[in-house]
Amino acid sequence: MSQNLISRSRRDRAIALLDETIHAMIDHHRLRGIIRDFQLKKSPIAVQTEGQGASQV
């Protein structure tokens, strides 16, 4: 019975870590979108040029 409690505790910690990781990835994705939108509003030509240069490499 104590073995089940230990595995449940480990499972709960793993699930919590996975949940935090997923939320961090979502936040990162949203932040990248906000930064990209800001850059496009600030200088659309410069951002497009950077994107084209990266795709040609």
All structural domains of the chain with their residue ranges: 23-57
What does the pLDDT read at residue 57?
Answer: 39
Give me the DSSP letters along 1-57: -HHHHHHHHHHHHHHHHHHHHHHHHHHHHHHHHHHHHHHHHH-HHHHHHHHHHHHH-
What does the pLDDT read at residue 27?
Answer: 97
At 14-24, the pLDDT tens digits run 999 999 999 99
Q: Which one is predicted more confidently, 55 or 57? A: 55
User: Which of 23, 43, 56 is CA-nearest to residue 35?
Assistant: 43
What does the pLDDT read at residue 22?
Answer: 98
At 22-47, the pLDDT tens digits run 999 999 999 999 999 988 888 756 55
